[in-house]
Amino acid sequence: MRGGKSFRLLILVLLSEFLIFSWAHAETPPQVIRIGVAAEGLGGRQYSYRLSLDVVRAQQLLEKEFASSGTKIEWHYFKAAGPAVSEALASHQVDFVFHGDLPSVIVRSTGIRTRYLLPLYARSNIYVAVPIKSQIRSVADLKGKVVSNFRGTATQLVAARVLNSVGLSERDLHLVNLDTAGANAALATGQVDGAFVMFNSFGLKDQNLIRYVFSSDWQPRFSAVGGLLVTEEFAKEYPQSVDRFVKAVVQGAWFAGKPQNRQAVYDIWAKSGIPEDYFVREYKGQDLRTVLSPLDDDFIVAKYRAAAADALKFGLVRKPVDLNGWIDRGPLNRALVTLHLEHFWTPTAADGRPAT
């Protein structure tokens, strides 16, 4: 009865496939997915910049991905950046967030349970700006001065590292908590002696209102990173949706990483109100494939470990933060396989150089 045996085998295979198929599709997708973004455009514009997520938004990749399941996508932008997103997490108002490294680590040290999925930007640059008439010539001159610092954000951590590199600590300065807009305004009018800013201050420089005394020049050790996180409860209840979400983000990062799309990415980022020319100047010589790499490679792991360690060192968290089990590579790896992008990005080693 050879035919019968193989027939029974066939039935068994088909049955098990059917069972697996139905189990895999057992999840009812959520009605709405709420995304919290720790950034905002100029003048309240509901767009961010510097992220691969922006491409996802502009090209409606998430909306398209979830159209079939009727899930609504809600985008929430927070002018008050990282800390405001942390509050949103605490009050269960968001499911997925974009969060800088410092606020993510701080949230991890509280009882709020999140999973880290992938980075949305892996390199950043910082400047120290002073009013044009200032006598300050270097970071060391900031000692004892009134300096603007957006507390609780990734920028604060980078600032602390920069200060540390010249032997200063936050306590040596008078730090005012001002957001990006406040910092720019305060600099332009000479209300503060200095500020840690990003390239969105180029306009002030062009108008000769400020001067840069330091630029981190994209050095990996002074770079912040920011990533996509999901709440533990959402991930438990909708694992498939997490996979689909990550897939869409990887698609966006892939688009952004292709050299021929560089200008298109700048145009997308310009929706935030930041002039497109600023992006050209800032990202000159930088490969967007590296900057916007979504890989959870050794570099990213090292970056977050460093964030946790530095946060403790500089007194920004009060007890050591345990990052074990926080990074969930599953959705990313599955997305890379599905999209056949396993080799598009080169993993970076912990020191910032491409892994061999």
Partner 1 sequence: MSRVRSLLGSGATLPVAIVAVWGLATHFGWLDVRLWSSPAAVLQSGWTALQDGSLIAALKASLLRDLAGFGIGASAGLALGLLLALLPLADILLEPTLNAARQVALFAWVPFLSLWLGNGEEGRLAFIALAAFFPVLLNIHLGARRVEASHLEVARVLCLKPHRVLLKVILPSALPSLMTGLRLGLLYAWLATIGAEYLFASTTGIGALMMDARELFRMDQVILGMAVIGAVGFGLNVLLSRVGHLPLWRGLEEVP
Partner 2 sequence: MTDLSQWAQSGARPGLRIRRPAFSPAVASGALKRLRPLLGWIVPAVLLLAWWAAANSHLVPEEILPAPATVAQAFSTLITSGDLQSNLLIALGRVAYGFGAGALAGLAFGAGMAFSDGFARFVRPTFLIISQIPVLAWLPFLMLLLGIGEALKIVLVAKSVFVPVALSTFAGIRGVPVRWLELARVLQFGRWKTLRRVVLPAALPQLFNGLRYGLTHAWMALVVVELLASYEGIGYLMIYSRQLFQLDVMVAIMLVIGAVGLLFDRMLALGEAWLTRRYGGAS
90 belongs to the binding site for partner 1 (CB under 8 A): yes
- Residue pair 162/196 in contact by the 8 Å Cβ criterion: yes
CA terminus-to-terminus distance, the chain: 56
Between 70 and 320, whose beta carbon lies closer to partner 2?
A: 320
Contact pick of 27, 58, 75, 87 for partner 1 (by CB under 8 A): 87
- The gap from C-alpha 77 to its chain's centroid, in whole angstroms, comes to 13
∠ CA(285), CA(287), CA(293), 5° rounding?
150
Q: Which does 105 bind (CB under 5 to 8 A by kind): partner 1, partner 2, none?
A: none
- Residue pair 190/131 in contact by the 8 Å Cβ criterion: yes
Q: Compose the 27-46 pattern: x for residues touching partner 1 by CB under 8 A, - for all others.
A: ---------------xxx-x
**Per-position DSSP letters for 302-341, written without gaps between them:** HHHHHHHHHHHHTTSSSS----TTTB--HHHHHHHHHTT-
Between 86 and 156, whose beta carbon lies closer to partner 1?
A: 86
Residue 5 CB-density burial (10 A; 0-12 exposed, 13-18 middle, 19+ buried)? exposed
- Residue pair 56/249 in contact by the 8 Å Cβ criterion: yes
72 belongs to the binding site for partner 1 (CB under 8 A): no
Provide, rounded to whole angstroms, the least separation between the CB of residue 319 and partner 1: 20
Q: How far apart are CA 49 and CA 270, in angstroms?
A: 7
Between 90 and 280, whose beta carbon lies closer to partner 2?
A: 90
* 3-class DSSP string for 129-194: EEECCCCCCCHHHHCCCEEECCCCCHHHHHHHHHHHHCCCCHHHCEEECCCHHHHHHHHHCCCCCE
Provide, rounded to whole angstroms, the least separation between the CB of residue 156 and partner 2: 8
Q: Which does 192 bind (CB under 5 to 8 A by kind): partner 1, partner 2, none?
A: partner 2
Between 142 and 178, whose beta carbon lies closer to partner 1?
A: 178
- Residue ranges that bind partner 2, judged by CB under 8 A: 83, 86, 90-91, 103, 106-107, 110-112, 146, 151-153, 174-178, 182, 185-186, 189-192, 316-318
Task: Spell out the residues 6+ positions from residue 291 whose beta carbon is closer than 8 angstroms to its own.
Answer: 121, 122, 123, 283
Applying CB under 8 A, the span of 76-84, 108-116, 214-222, 327-335 interacting with partner 1 comes to 76-84
Contact pick of 112, 185, 302, 309 for partner 1 (by CB under 8 A): 185
Amino acid letter, residue 8? R
- Residue pair 122/291 in contact by the 8 Å Cβ criterion: yes
Provide, rounded to whole angstroms, the least separation between the CB of residue 95 and partner 2: 17
Provide, rounded to whole angstroms, the least separation between the CB of residue 148 and partner 2: 9
Between 190 and 239, whose beta carbon lies closer to partner 2?
A: 190
Phi and psi at 39, nearest 5°, equal -165, 165
Amino acid letter, residue 260? Q
Q: Which does 323 bind (CB under 5 to 8 A by kind): partner 1, partner 2, none?
A: none
Q: How far apart are CA 99 and CA 101, in angstroms?
A: 7
202 belongs to the binding site for partner 1 (CB under 8 A): no
Q: Which does 161 bind (CB under 5 to 8 A by kind): partner 2, partner 1, none?
A: none
Between 201 and 223, whose beta carbon lies closer to partner 1?
A: 201
Amino acid letter, residue 333? N
- Residue pair 146/176 in contact by the 8 Å Cβ criterion: yes
Between 152 and 294, whose beta carbon lies closer to partner 1?
A: 152
Q: Which does 88 bind (CB under 5 to 8 A by kind): partner 2, partner 1, none?
A: partner 1
Provide, rounded to whole angstroms, the least separation between the CB of residue 262 and partner 1: 27
Q: Which does 78 bind (CB under 5 to 8 A by kind): partner 1, partner 2, none?
A: partner 1
Site residues for partner 1 per CB under 8 A: 42-44, 46, 78-80, 84, 87-88, 90-91, 93, 180-182, 184-185, 188-189
